[in-house]
Amino acid sequence: MKLPRLEFRGLYIAGVYGRLRALRTKSPALHHWWWQRITAVVLVPLCLWFAASLITMVGAGHAAAAAWVGSLGVALLLVVFILALCYHAYLGVEVIMDDYVHIERVKAKGVLAVQVVLGLLAVVGVLAVSWVLVGLA
Amino acid sequence: MPVAALLSITHRATGVFLTLGTVVLVYWLVAVARGPEAYAGLQETLGSWVGLICLFLWSFALFFHLCNGIRHLFWDAGYGFEMKTVDASAQAVLVATAILTAITWLLAFLYSGAQA
């Protein structure tokens, strides 16, 4: 079927080929469009996995949680989860700010603030997982 | 407001709300790293009425954003633009969100009973 013209942050991206080509361009807006989707696809199974795992730990104490976070496979998936989640959240909030904040200076500061906060969250999350993984918890 | 438009704005609203939830998610990991005392403290906070309401809203927001996000991914791939399909997938998103949220809390309730 014919693909609709797709607008993303003021740029038109036509067809599947155009979208794939966009991935290789240096345009930050198109990179954002793609990374939003790539992280979304990654987050679908990871969110379901994380939610299901949390449910099994309801009512259980610290030992169960530490054992779960501290196993190598889980820790690696958690790191991917945290990074994808924070980046996806940052890109999403940025698009929303683009649409609703019309004063450039305010927008730039807002985007920077979100970048810093979500960046810090990602770093703290990865450090916490590493801490448990090496057995310091 | 048509259902499709309502879902579109809800997708953004749940996205922002879930972004706030990442703070709690990261603090959960920090509490695991800090040890039994911090973890018990967090469990107590999350187990309070306010905590449970927040967790419920976050679970609902997560499943909605996830289901509606899959709908968006289909659109990105060029499928599902017919008006009939847009309406049908909107209904499907709402039903799936309700089912996933219900299953989550039913299982959470069963697990809390089994391990208490």
Say what the pLDDT of residue A14 is: 53
Paired with A8 in beta bridges are A11
Number of domains in chain B: 1
Task: Flag whether pLDDT at B28 surpasses 90.
Answer: yes
Half-sphere exposure of A123 (CA within 13 A, CB side): 6
Mean pLDDT of the region B50-62: 98
- Under the banding of pLDDT at 50, 70 and 90, the label for residue A137 is low
Domain-wise residue ranges, chain A: 32-133
Answer yes or no: is pLDDT of A24 > 80: no
Percent of chain A with pLDDT over 90: 72
Confidence band for A19, pLDDT divided at 50, 70 and 90: low
B80 Rama sector, left if φ>0, alpha if ψ -120 to 50, beta otherwise: left
CATH of the domain at B45: 1.20.1300.10
**What pLDDT is recorded for position B45?**
96
Judge: A55–B116 Cβ closer than 8 Å, yes or no. Answer: no
Question: What integer pLDDT is reported at residue B3 of this predicted model?
Answer: 85
Among B12, B18, B115, the residue with its CB nearest the CB of A59 is: B115
Distance from CA of A18 to the nearest CA of B (A): 12
User: How near does any CA of chain A get to the CA of B34, in Å?
Assistant: 6
Q: Say yes or no to pLDDT of A7 above 60.
A: no
CA-based nearest residue in chain A for residue B20 = A89
Predicted local distance difference test score (pLDDT) of residue A54: 96
User: A39-79, pLDDT tens digit by residue?
Assistant: 999 999 999 999 999 999 998 999 999 999 999 999 999 99
**Cα nearest neighbour of A38 on chain B:** B73
User: Tell me, what's the pLDDT at A96?
Assistant: 93
Six-digit token pair at A16?
């599947």
Q: CB-CB: which of B33, B40, B62 is closest to A51?
A: B62
Give yes or no for a contact between B114 and B89, defined as CB atoms under 8 angstroms apart. Answer: no
pLDDT of residue A31: 81
Topology of domain A32-133, per CATH?
Answer: 3 helical TM bundles of succinate and fumarate reductases (1.20.1300)
pLDDT of residue A79: 98
State which residues form the domain around B61: 3-115
Q: Do A37 and B73 touch (CB under 8 A)?
A: yes
From residue A57, give the alpha-carbon distance in Å to each of A85, A136, B47.
Answer: 21, 20, 13
Q: pLDDT value at position A2?
A: 46
Closest CA to B32 of A127, A46, A129: A129
Read off φ and ψ for residue A47, nearest 5 degrees: -65, -45
Q: Element (H or E) spanning A12, and its range?
A: strand A11-13
Q: What does the pLDDT read at residue A87?
A: 97
Which chain B residue's Cα is nearest to A66? B32
ipTM of the complex: 0.94
Query: Which among B25, B70, B116 has the least Cβ separation from residue A44?
Result: B70
